[in-house]
Structure 1
Amino acid sequence: MADKKEIILIRHGETEWNKVRKYQGHMDIELNDWGRQQAGEAAKELANLDIDYFASSDLKRARETAEIIASFHNNNIKEFKELREMNFGEWEGKGFKEIKNDYPEDFQKWIEDPIKFSPPAGETLKEFQDRVLEGFNTILENGFDRNAIVTHGGVIMVFLATILEMPLINYRKFEVANTGITRVNLYDNSYVLKEFNSQSHMK
């Protein structure tokens, strides 16, 4: 029988910048009150699971979400810089229309080929993917059976595009809600998507 590991991916709760649709990237924005409530509901949803290992991005919005969820399990949380959101460089703190107006050429190049082009002072999609996979590989090498990873929408999207063997640029075809729960099973070296972006805890 194949060796099985389970990966539970949770996007962080809402921030004020999420509400106004600003690019956050590496900016260390904390949860708002609704985001904390979302995290509490996700924690209840996962409370009855035996989770062996908790990992989180080291940014406040992910770390605080992880702390709320892990409090139901008395688990320590290991923080990883590799699990941060994509680095949007000069675009962080700005909205879509503002970026499109202020950086028209850079924005168009990035939209058409984010694998090759990055936001000014940011990282390319390929650089982002390499960083994210390094973090996931470190976590999975620990050998725990059930791993909860609290991170960012872009991280989850890129990880799923990779394990499902999609063209990387198609990562944009995923949409991950705040505290959306995604489950992936790993059988030896084969990934299977079990559940995507569940928000049943918010109903």
Structure 2
Amino acid sequence: MSTDFYLVRHAIKEKDVGDVPISVEGLEQANVTAKYLEYFPISRIFSSPLKRAKQTAQIIGKAAKIPIDEDIRLRERANWGDLPGQTFEEFVAMWNQCTRERDFLPPIGDSARMAGERLSSCLIGLSAQYPNESIVIVTHGGLITDFMLNEFSQDELNNTHTNFITEQSNLIGECSITRISCDGRAFNLYEFANIAHLSC
């Protein structure tokens, strides 16, 4: 028995500090993604508590007529604005250090490895609770990448994109869909960061 997961990165967000909503362009992306996911047998939707993810999830949930469950384990590795007084440049430098040094613990948020483990734990728990279901997870690009680096070999990652590790910060576009399954212990990857539905 296994559970299918559709890992959706939130739609394009407003460019500002803090817990920002999605933009007008993001609203359009989320609606297109919601229509695409109507073709799949989705039974549940879980979302990060951050606004950009919740709004994306609510649009998907409205189209599918499924309520949204928030799960704090789906939050991003770190969010600009969580550390008072941190400039954007300082946030980016912190983020990049976490990306390069996967065990580096920043002054706010999680290390990349810890963040990936957090998502793995969430998905394993959900697969045990909801076997044989199809579940949408609306979360963040950094968290999905951190999870991928924890759970899949470098060869598997490079099959999705050459030089995955080097290019990791640019691979998961807004409203992209990564499809995996989990049998309660191990993960299988079927589709990575698909954005074809956004250009239909």
TM-score exceeds 0.5: yes
Corresponding residue of 1:141: 128
User: In the alignment, is residue 114 of structure 1 matched against residue 108 of structure 2?
Assistant: no
CA, structure 1 residues 39+77, in 2 after alignment: closer, same or farther (shift >3 Å)?
same
**C-alpha separation in 2, matches of 1:93 and 1:202:** 34
User: In the alignment, is residue 129 of structure 1 matched against residue 127 of structure 2?
Assistant: no
Partner of 1:70, secondary structure, is helix
Identity of aligned residues (%): 26
Counterpart of 1:177 (choices 150, 159, 173) is: 173
- Structure 1 residue runs of 5 or longer lacking an equivalent are none
Counterpart of 1:56 (choices 44, 47, 58) is: 47
Instruction: Tell me how many residue pairs correspond in the alignment.
Output: 188
Corresponding residue of 1:155: 143
**C-alpha separation in 2, matches of 1:123 and 1:57:** 15
Corresponding residue of 1:33: 24
Preserved contact between residue 58 and residue 80 of structure 1 (Cα < 8 Å): yes
Deviation digits for residues 75-107 of structure 1 (CA, Å, limit 9, x no counterpart): 111101110001255499744xx2289x7xx78
Partner of 1:197, secondary structure, is strand
Q: CA RMSD in A?
A: 3.1
**C-alpha separation in 1, matches of 2:96 and 2:67:** 43
Corresponding residue of 1:7: 5
Matched letter for residue 62 of structure 1 = A
- How far has the Cα of 1:129 moved from its partner? 2.6
Partner of 1:16, secondary structure, is coil
**C-alpha separation in 1, matches of 2:173 and 2:126:** 23
Preserved contact between residue 90 and residue 122 of structure 1 (Cα < 8 Å): no
Matched letter for residue 179 of structure 2 = R
Deviation digits for residues 37-56 of structure 1 (CA, Å, limit 9, x no counterpart): 10000011111211111111
**C-alpha separation in 1, matches of 2:77 and 2:47:** 15
TM-score under structure 1 normalisation? 0.78
Matched letter for residue 79 of structure 1 = E
Deviation digits for residues 159-187 of structure 1 (CA, Å, limit 9, x no counterpart): 222221449x9486361000001111235
**C-alpha separation in 2, matches of 1:147 and 1:108:** 31
Deviation digits for residues 35-74 of structure 1 (CA, Å, limit 9, x no counterpart): 0110000011111211111111011110110110111221
Preserved contact between residue 7 and residue 136 of structure 2 (Cα < 8 Å): yes
Counterpart of 2:70 (choices 69, 76, 79) is: 79
Partner of 2:130, secondary structure, is coil
- How far has the Cα of 1:142 moved from its partner? 1.6
Say which one has the larger Rg.
1
- Structure 2 residue runs of 5 or longer lacking an equivalent are 156-163
- How far has the Cα of 1:130 moved from its partner? 3.1
CA, structure 1 residues 91+162, in 2 after alignment: closer, same or farther (shift >3 Å)?
farther
